[in-house]
């Protein structure tokens, strides 16, 4: 069967020698299927064999039909943000336990990829968030996030205070350790550990989850994908804003953090037998009802 993907980029966790063997195995497999193989330039620096063209993310975005990411969910988050503007589909291969985003194992990756390359796969589109920090009528910081944007107090600092508005309407003032603004993808990350709901990834929604609020009546709120969330900082000690726990910025009094849907989406491909609920059971340790004793 002819593959719908002709040029495939291989991207591995940066400076991790454990990716070399499975990456070269993938490269040989794809070559045997008469597919063109590319490496991102950072991965190429880890691989001793210089068999494949090394390219920047921008060059991969312009040329690749598919990107295969070897690593964990953190690696996938990073690559997803960079390739989102180019609409390159992503497949994730996890080196350890299966992740929420990297759901193929190294042990079965060739078998799974074979059927996926033949067109037998599930396609998911995930929304991104765009965050800006407005300070003195200028944009002091901006970033994109696939999981979440989090406003947090600094290490060792006291609770922080801020005002929250949605679509320009005042919602509440909050004293807490922070606030998480998450996508459905991020609902199983930091937001989940702070008491937020699990949101199926097929739903484009934005979840606001207070982190250890001073008032227990402050509960998570779920809003539509086109909502604009504004967080206005009150006088505080140390406070920071994070995008996917990666990009971060130190906040000051009167800074306004604006979070909205990003213009791009991320496309993830899964094997045709992929089950979101099975993954939740495995990752979260859910078990079925006990059987009756014989």
What string of H, E and C letters represents the secondary structure of 146-198? CCEEEEEECCCCCCEEEEEEECCEEEEEEEECEEEEECCHHHHCHHHHCCCCC
For residue 47, the model assigns a pLDDT of: 87
User: So what CATH class is 128-263?
Assistant: mainly beta
pLDDT band at 117; cut points 50, 70, 90: very high
For residue 290, the model assigns a pLDDT of: 59
pLDDT in tens, 34-88: 999 999 999 999 888 888 999 999 999 999 999 999 999 999 999 999 999 999 9
For residues 178-201, average pLDDT: 97
Gap between the Cα atoms of 268 and 93, Å rounded: 12
For residue 139, the model assigns a pLDDT of: 98
Is 73 assigned a catalytic role? yes
Gap between the Cα atoms of 103 and 203, Å rounded: 20
Please indicate whether residue 272 or residue 155 has the higher confidence score (pLDDT).
272
For residue 158, the model assigns a pLDDT of: 87
Gap between the Cα atoms of 173 and 165, Å rounded: 9
Whether pTM exceeds 0.75? yes
Gap between the Cα atoms of 28 and 10, Å rounded: 12
For residues 221-228, average pLDDT: 98
Could you give the count of Cα atoms lying within 13 Å of 73 in the half-sphere of its Cβ?
Answer: 15
Tokens of 251: 């906040």
For residue 16, the model assigns a pLDDT of: 87
CA of 5: how far to CAs of 32, 84, 102, 118, 200, in Å?
A: 14, 18, 19, 9, 28
User: Which residue carries 């953190």 as its tokens?
Assistant: 74
For residues 173-195, average pLDDT: 96
233: pLDDT strictly greater than 90: yes
For residue 291, the model assigns a pLDDT of: 60
Q: Would residue 285 be called left, alpha or beta, if left means φ above 0 and alpha means ψ between -120 and 50 degrees?
A: left
Could you give the count of Cα atoms lying within 13 Å of 177 in the half-sphere of its Cβ?
Answer: 7
For residues 121-131, average pLDDT: 97
For residue 2, the model assigns a pLDDT of: 64
For residues 199-223, average pLDDT: 95
For residues 112-138, average pLDDT: 95
For residue 283, the model assigns a pLDDT of: 87
Q: What does the radius of gyration of the chain's CA atoms come to, in whole angstroms?
A: 21
pLDDT in tens, 139-148: 999 999 999 9
> Do the two domains 7-120+272-284 and 128-263 of this chain adopt the same fold?
no
Q: Mean pLDDT across the chain, nearest whole number?
A: 93
Tokens of 139: 């944009």
What is the torsional sign of CA 110, 112, 116, 120? positive
pLDDT in tens, 246-265: 899 999 999 999 999 999 99
For residues 183-204, average pLDDT: 96
**Domain range annotation of the chain:** 7-120+272-284, 128-263
Give me the sheet containing 221-223, strands edge to edge.
221-223, 206-211, 178-182, 148-153, 239-243, 247-250
Gap between the Cα atoms of 221 and 171, Å rounded: 10
pLDDT band at 292; cut points 50, 70, 90: low
294: pLDDT strictly greater than 60: no
Gap between the Cα atoms of 275 and 100, Å rounded: 11
For residue 189, the model assigns a pLDDT of: 95
List b or e across 68-85, with b for residues whose CB sees 16 or more CB atoms inside 10 angstroms: bbbbbbbbbbbbbbbbbe
1: pLDDT strictly greater than 60: no
Domain 7-120+272-284 has CATH 3.20.20.70: no
Q: Which of 73, 103, 244, 255 is catalytic?
A: 73
């Amino acid at each position: 069967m002819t593959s719908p993907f002709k040029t495939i980029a291989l991207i591995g966790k940066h400076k991790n020698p454990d990716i070399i063997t499975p990456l070269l195995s993938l490269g040989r497999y794809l070559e045997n299927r008469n597919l063109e193989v590319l490496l991102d330039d950072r991965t190429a620096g880890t691989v001793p064999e210089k068999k494949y063209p090394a390219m920047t993310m921008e060059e991969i975005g312009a040329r690749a039909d598919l990107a295969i990411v070897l690593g964990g969910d953190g690696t996938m988050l990073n690559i997803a943000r960079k390739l989102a503007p180019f609409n390159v589909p992503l497949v994730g291969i996890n080196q350890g336990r299966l992740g929420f985003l990297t759901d193929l194992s190294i042990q079965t990756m060739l078998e799974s990829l074979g059927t996926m390359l033949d067109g037998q796969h599930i396609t998911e589109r995930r929304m991104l968030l765009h965050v800006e920090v407005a300070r003195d009528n200028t944009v002091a910081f901006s970033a994109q996030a696939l999981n979440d944007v989090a406003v947090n107090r600094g290490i060792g600092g006291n609770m922080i205070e801020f005002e929250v508005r949605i679509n320009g309407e005042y919602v509440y003032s909050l004293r807490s350790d922070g606030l998480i603004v998450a996508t459905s993808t991020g609902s199983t990350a930091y937001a989940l550990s702070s008491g937020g709901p699990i949101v199926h990834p097929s739903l484009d929604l934005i979840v606001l989850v207070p982190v250890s609020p001073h008032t227990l009546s402050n509960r998570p709120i779920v809003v539509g994908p086109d909502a604009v969330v504004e967080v206005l900082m009150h006088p505080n000690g140390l406070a920071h804003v994070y995008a996917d726990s990666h990009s971060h910025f130190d906040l000051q009094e009167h800074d306004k953090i604006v979070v909205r849907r990003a213009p791009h989406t991320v496309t993830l491909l899964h094997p045709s037998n992929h089950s979101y609920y099975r993954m939740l059971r495995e990752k979260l340790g859910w078990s079925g009802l006990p059987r009756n004793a014989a």
